[in-house]
Amino acid sequence: MTVHNLYIFDRNGACLHYSEWNRKKQAGISKQEEFKLMYGMLFSIRSFVSKMSPLDMREGFQCFQTSRYKLHFYETPTGLKFIMNTDLSVPNARETLHQIYSTLYVDYIVKNPLCSLGDPLQSDLFSARLDTFIKNLPYFNPRAA
């Protein structure tokens, strides 16, 4: 079990934060292009999912998986998007993503008046806490499984 990487996007599609842990393969394009590609895909999936759904949805798009990894998606009502890639054995990580939002993002970014919202996050405190938080997840360590 492991966590590969994590993206945070704001409601306008700007990538506020990116960090990676166990990423063996890079995209081969610049990070800026990668963020745009990622956001564009998420935007399309959200609209696809809501149009194709035969029933009213409460939560909408939650995750997808391929043969090698799983992408977990969590969006707040304010349009912040948290995306975490893990390996396939990790169960639903929405609660974890909500925790990153409520205990890390809100506490260290929103409540810090010097952090302007909508710009890439500069807070070292936030990055450090996030790193600790992810590394302490029960499924972070590949050998913990």
Partner 1 sequence: MSRQSNRTTDNKKMNSELFTLTYGALVTQLCKDYENDEEVNKQLDKMGYNIGVRLIEDFLARSSVGRCQDFRETADVIAKVAFKMYLGVTPSVTNWSPAGDEFSLVLESNPLVDFVELPDNHNVLIYSNLLCGVLRGALEMVQMAVDVRFAQDTLRGDNVTEIRMKFIKRIEENLPAGDE
Distances (CA, A) of 137 to 16, 61, 112, 115, 131: 22, 23, 25, 27, 10
Q: What residues numbered 51-70 form the site for partner 1, per CB under 8 A?
A: 58
Q: Is 145 exposed, middle or buried (0-12, 13-18, 19+ CB in 10 A)?
A: exposed
Number of residues that bind partner 1 (CB under 8 A): 26
Cβ atoms < 10 Å from Cβ of 105: 23
Q: Is 82 in the site for partner 1 (CB under 8 A)?
A: no
Candidates 12, 30, 32, 67: give the one binding partner 1 (CB under 8 A).
12
Q: Binding string, 105-134, against partner 1, x = CB under 8 A?
A: xxx--xx-----x-----------------
Q: Is 107 exposed, middle or buried (0-12, 13-18, 19+ CB in 10 A)?
A: middle
Candidates 53, 103, 119, 120: give the one binding partner 1 (CB under 8 A).
103
Q: Are 127 and 19 in contact (CB under 8 A)?
A: yes
Q: Which stretch binds partner 1 (CB under 8 A): 16-24, 101-109, 120-128, 137-145?
A: 101-109
Q: What's the CA gap between 21 and 80, in Å, rounded?
A: 22
Q: Which residues pair with 64 in a beta bridge?
A: 71
Q: Which stretch binds partner 1 (CB under 8 A): 19-27, 61-69, 103-111, 135-143?
A: 103-111
| Comparison of 14 and 49: residue with beta carbon closer to partner 1 | 14
* Residues in contact with partner 1 by the rule CB under 8 A: 11-14, 36, 39-40, 43, 58, 76-80, 95, 98-99, 101-103, 105-107, 110-111, 117
